[in-house]
Amino acid sequence: MRSSIMESKESLQNQFEKERQDIYKVLKKLFLAKMEGATDKEYAYNHYKNVLFEKNYSLPHNTIFFEELKTVFNHFRKIDLKNAIQQTLKSLPTIRKHSDKAQNQAFCVSYENPNFDVYELPLYYQNGINNDDCSLDDLMEQEHKLSALSEQGIIKILAIYQATQELLIDVEKFYVLESKDELSPSNHKYQFTRSQIVIMAHYIFEMAGIDRSKIDVTTCAEILHCMTGIPYDKIANSEIYKKMLKPFSNSSPKKTLEDLKLVRSYLAKLNNQTILDSIDKQITKMSK
């Protein structure tokens, strides 16, 4: 009997982990694909971070059921990670009770006065109506459906929630925006823009005696993505690939000159006069 209970706990936890991992991969891939096709990267970054992770449409935000479910789940993850799913599911009767109470309160308020004051409703309903343009009917319908969900349905919701929370943190690591500002060399002491990375790579390849004209740009771009850790969905759509096609035509002449001088300042430390002469030749050409 005890063995059967243990197997049941592990099965629920395994289901959650598999769902979480699958959803994480799908959302991450979707985010990167959207970013690659975006014109304004900074705007797109904030937009897709919001709609895919912060306010994912698959999650029933602003419902009493979901908000309490999150609170309970996060509590058990912090004190008993291995049994967090099992402990959360045990709390469902209490969560359902609070959800039903909220529905009854909302129904009474709206039934007694069709022109009710939104502030008479439960707090999460107020937020949904005031901030997210939800209707009371929609919120109550969501609440009702959540209360009727099976354990598998609850696990799916928790898996989506956990994946989005992890991605909110990880997105800062696996996608770094290139600033549009004209930054000085001191700002780039620890991180180059993609244009600067490409120019640096151009001269490192040259220093290594590699003839770029005989190597597919795809190969060069893949090597740079591997070295920098910058992710991509399709290599031909990546910024690195596009910039590798024309290393000195990705920014304004003024900005490219600044990038060349910055790259030169780093490569000068290698004491390779041939490469420095090559960079100086490009600088002179672009200064005309």
DSSP string, 71-138: HHHHHHHHH-GGGHHHHHHHTHHHHHHHHHHHHHHHHHHHHH-TT--GGGS-HHHHHHHHHS---HHH
Q: Using 50, 70 and 90 to split pLDDT, how confident is the model at 5?
A: very low
Q: What is the model's pLDDT at position 177?
A: 56
Q: What is the DSSP letter of 181?
A: S
Q: What would the pLDDT profile of 15-62 be if each residue is shown by its tens digit?
A: 999 999 999 999 999 998 888 888 888 888 889 999 999 989 899 888
Q: What would the pLDDT profile of 76-95 be if each residue is shown by its tens digit?
A: 999 988 899 999 999 999 99
Question: Would you say 92 and 154 are in contact if contact means Cβ atoms under 8 Å apart?
Answer: yes
Share of the chain above pLDDT 90, in %: 35
In the predicted structure, residue 273 carries a pLDDT above the cut 90: yes
Average pLDDT, the chain: 83
- Tokens describing residue 167: 């991605």
Tell me the C-alpha distance between 147 and 61, whole Å: 14
In the predicted structure, residue 258 carries a pLDDT above the cut 70: yes
In the predicted structure, residue 250 carries a pLDDT above the cut 60: yes
In the predicted structure, residue 109 carries a pLDDT above the cut 70: yes
Tell me the C-alpha distance between 92 and 250, whole Å: 56
Q: At residue 129, what are phi and psi to the nearest 5 degrees? A: -75, -45
The model's pTM is: 0.59
The dihedral sign for the CA sequence 204, 210, 214, 219: negative
Tell me the C-alpha distance between 188 and 74, whole Å: 38
Compute the C-alpha angle 53/57/59, nearest 5°: 80
Q: Check residues 127 and 143 and name the one with the higher pLDDT.
A: 143
Q: For the stretch 28-40, what's the b/e string if a residue is b when 16 or more beta carbons lie within 10 angstroms of its beta carbon?
A: beebbebbbeeee
Q: What would the pLDDT profile of 65-79 be if each residue is shown by its tens digit?
A: 998 999 999 999 999
Q: How many CA atoms lie within 13 A of 51 on its CB side?
A: 8
Q: What is the model's pLDDT at position 235?
A: 84
Tell me the C-alpha distance between 174 and 183, whole Å: 22
Q: Comparing C-alpha atoms, which of 166, 109, 179, 170 is closest to residue 140?
A: 109
Tell me the C-alpha distance between 228 and 19, whole Å: 30
Q: Which residues contact 94 (CB under 8 A, 6 or more apart)?
A: none
Domain ranges (residues) in the chain? 2-174, 185-287
- Kindly state the average pLDDT of the residues 110-135: 75
Q: What is the model's pLDDT at position 48?
A: 93
Q: What is the model's pLDDT at position 190?
A: 47
Q: What is the model's pLDDT at position 41?
A: 82
Q: What is the model's pLDDT at position 175?
A: 67
- Tokens describing residue 22: 């699958």
Q: What is the model's pLDDT at position 176?
A: 60
The dihedral sign for the CA sequence 150, 128, 52, 24: negative
Q: What would the pLDDT profile of 173-225 be if each residue is shown by its tens digit?
A: 766 654 443 333 344 344 688 889 999 999 998 888 888 777 888 888 888 88
In the predicted structure, residue 231 carries a pLDDT above the cut 60: yes
